[in-house]
Homo-oligomer: A and B are copies of this chain.
């Protein structure tokens, strides 16, 4: 399960905290989410992602980035813009997106 943790470097770096409530509309959501995960990995400054969604439909996805400029570039990516548009319109009943600068971190390593 440790593959689900992002292996981020020493701070500082940035986090995009995306908290969302899904609608009951599926319409390609899973495929699009997978595609966005694949695309993000290849973006400049991408450091990793962690994601969890409970049975109640509330999900939190945190992606990690080297700089604010990297985040801005990913937000403006053509395919991602289309995903954002569809997300806003049909997949998310509500969401909150916060951009934050990670200042410190500590962990318990698995095993």
Contacts and interface: CB of A to CB of B under 8 A. Distances in A.
A94 B55 CA distance: 22
> For the side of the interface on A, what is the size category?
35 or more
Contacts of A59: 52
Interface of A is mostly: strand
Contacts of A103: 99-101
A1 interface: yes
A54 B54 contact: yes
A50 interface: yes
Given A50-B60, A53-B52, A110-B21, A102 B99 contact: yes
A46 interface: no
A97 interface: yes
A53 B54 contact: yes
A81 to B, nearest CB: 15
B17 A17 contact: yes
Contact of A102 (B51, B93, B100): B100
Interface of A: 1-2, 4-6, 8, 11, 15, 17, 19, 21, 50-60, 62, 88, 92-110
